[in-house]
Structure 1
Amino acid sequence: MTGMNTIARDPKGYYAILGLAPGADSGAIKSAYRSRVKKVHPDRNASKRAREEFQRVIEAYGVLKDVVRRAEYDTFGQESTHDDDEVVAGAPIACGGCGALTAQPRYVVYHWVRSFLVWAKTGTVEGIFCRVCADRAAVRASTATWAWGWWSLPGLLLAPLALVHNLLGGSKPRHENARLLIRQGRAFLGRGELELARSLALQAGRFARQPDDCARVEDLLHATRDVSDTRRLKTRWRLGGGVFLAQALPLLALPVTIGVFALIAAKPWDQPVATAAAPIAMLPARSGEIRHVAVDNLKVRMAPLAGAPVLTLLDRFTTVEVTADPADPEWVKVRTPSGIDGFVETRSLYAGSGGRFKAQWCAENRGAPPSAGEILTRRVSGDHRLLVHNEGRRDGVVKLKTMAGNTVTAFYVPATYHIGIGGIPEGVYRIEFATGSRYSRGCGIFIEEMQTSVLPVTLTFKYLSAGTIRSLTHIAEISLSPASDDPVQPQPLPADRFAADD
């Protein structure tokens, strides 16, 4: 049944000779023609069959590249053989979307954009439509652009242009629409529907700019001169309606959305206090304030005294909460993230949470990018080896940790690399890893897109006997991005656990 439908829609095989399905757009037709004509051109292929096929390709392209002739071919199964100057009483061309006859057809082109991270692809939804089908085509193109157009730098420029273009009604090429409306008017004139014919002539006059088109409009108006212009059809192609609002409202909301994201990124409520050459003025802490540790290994003491017992140590940038108004300005009572209440020196705390300040410090102390397979940490050495596959798009840092959570070795595996690591000691290890971009040596983390994971298996390295010859053909392997059908899939891991012993 599918073959029969294709033949019915392509009786002369014009689409088939170009290798296209019926209804292909103009871009696909042009591309297919260029590819096909190169293969069968007589300068490259002198056979009789090639010459015949070349003529067929030229004939097919001559019909399909022309908007009006292609519409006639798609509607009636044959293209018009008449010249535009002849008056032909054929059947009206139907809407390419719903197939209904319309007295107000338009050839309209809408644009869409699809992004692929570093580049963007553009295309069109085009055809001869009634107003309802044109609105649907506009929404289809705009929805595709909203969903896929923004995810690249070119897309950030091209997507808004396409959306505004579609919002304003798309492109309606003048010459093609003038010819279409003149042809439609002649068809209704041949059927004796003079009011429709005159209305189409008046609509065509708005598009006609070439002398030939203007002359044909005058001929059609002369043929319908007995019809009063007061009885013309009211145009349905003005902007407005629900479809216009559906496309306009997201565009109006776009600046607001960008502003909100910019505000979140800037975090004006969490800016560090600017200082001049004068000494830093320490503001007294207040109960309920959020502050962060500004020194390494800050001691949390049991009492506000320098010699009081130490409850715990806090790393730099740890966020704490002030739990009471201080009686002594030199000391402040805080609660640590683990829930321990104790006293620290006021001068060791800065205002705000530590996340933003840590990110800034890590970026400033990023250091040189690690090399492929570089050992970042090695606390114990041995004779075993491990092969690591990183087939993802982001760099990785792999840590072998003991069951107690202590890192034995950590190494760097760039994206798409397969790295062999030696010097692993005997033992049983958990495999934790982080992926991301812009690795910071100062913090031991990725500054951007960091994700941390743990493999739900352990690796065991041991000697079978003292005299066993160690074979290099049996090396343990792990993958940071296993196939979906692999039973060993990475599990999410909190970032603080990954860096717990750094």
Structure 2
Amino acid sequence: MSDNDPQGLYRALGVQSSATAEEIKSAYRKLAKETHPDTSQHASSEKFHSISAAYEILNDPIRRAEYDSSAYRASAQEAKARAIDPICCSRCGQVTAQPRYVVFFRVYSFVVMTTRRPIQGIFCASCAKKEGLKSSIITLVTGWWGAPWGPIYSIGSILSNGFGGKHERSSDEGMIWYNALAFLSRGNLQLSYALAMQSRKTLNKDIAKDAIELIAQLEKAGVDTRQGKLRNPWRTSMLYRAGHLLMAFALPGTLALAIFASTQGSRASTSYNGSRLYSSPPSSAQYQPSVQKAIVTPNVPKCANVPYSGQLLGPNRLSTTDGHSLEIRNGSSGNAIIKVRAELSGAVVAAFFVRSSQTAQITGIPDGRYTVQYAFGDALDVSCRRFVQLDGAGQFPGVETLQTEQTATQIITQVLSYTLYAVPAGNVTPQSISAQDFERQ
């Protein structure tokens, strides 16, 4: 596992590098409960921070792809000193000269619940096309039946799968260069030359420079310069793309329009891994508060140790076993405090801190109806639980109803996901609230 885990992120969560997104999330939730300073007798802030940092990367399919592909780094000196194994496809296990790290998506829906699951790994072109088709067919059958996100996610996922899935050029180019050195170390100079010819056009200037030097050395060694270009196996046929377009916009497309029309004007329901889109940014730099700012004097005591993202502030009513989850992505320029309030009593069920440009998640929210509030500020007071001065406060519109469902084989809880920054074409506007409304207990 260490070869594919250069920074030990998988090891921190106790999973293999081949773990699915569900296995990673399950491992994180278990470890978070065991190590969180506010919920466990075996608390370890250092370990909780390390697993949170690992989960933040591995829970994001694209960031996980960048991390996994970063395991393949080599230099020309290494290639001369020892034999390097070329990269193999994670599906068929065969060596592939032009690999890609690709993320495909499968969508599963049931009435008001929709989840989009990434299927990712290093693929050869043949296995990638098979996986793209398989994921789109599964989405076609299972993805459309949730309102309103099912049709939206399904169309986007099928189109993405049909056009090669999501992949990063930098990761692809890094693995091509790695293979050029691997085949060089094994004496396959002609293939190494062809891959080096591709690598000379990479965006990475260091790789491009090394590739040009390797090309010159191989030409001196007598490689056939007429065979310096490989066929691109990643091109998809018109028939392959047309099939995905048909799946995206034929009968399912009609169903998507019908569902959208029936839900027009109503607020989107909570979905697994769902997120809210907002039409205006509540960032501390642009947010205009509805309350008068307090006068801050230089001798006001300040918090000595700023909380980490996800740290609970004060007493809470969270469950230490099961419960629902709330994820906050703070894309604003200021730190934020988040409060979850019970709708009827107005009592604070949980309050936690989210640093600027970071993501935090809490778990253990019991069944019930809740509102979610947020406030921005700079310095925390000496209690480290509230801002000395609010730059603005708001509340996400509507009331969230969280209800656990139980089947014969599993207990299903919900995950709320909010983003604190402007999103183009956002469909919900946050509501401003006063400092008194936010600070009340």
TM range (shorter): 0.3 to 0.5
Q: Which structure is higher in RCO with an 8 Å CA cutoff and minimum separation 6?
A: 2
Indicate the structure (1 or 2) with the bigger Cα radius of gyration: 1
TM-score (norm 1): 0.40
The structure richer in strand per residue is 1
TM-score relative to the length of structure 2: 0.44
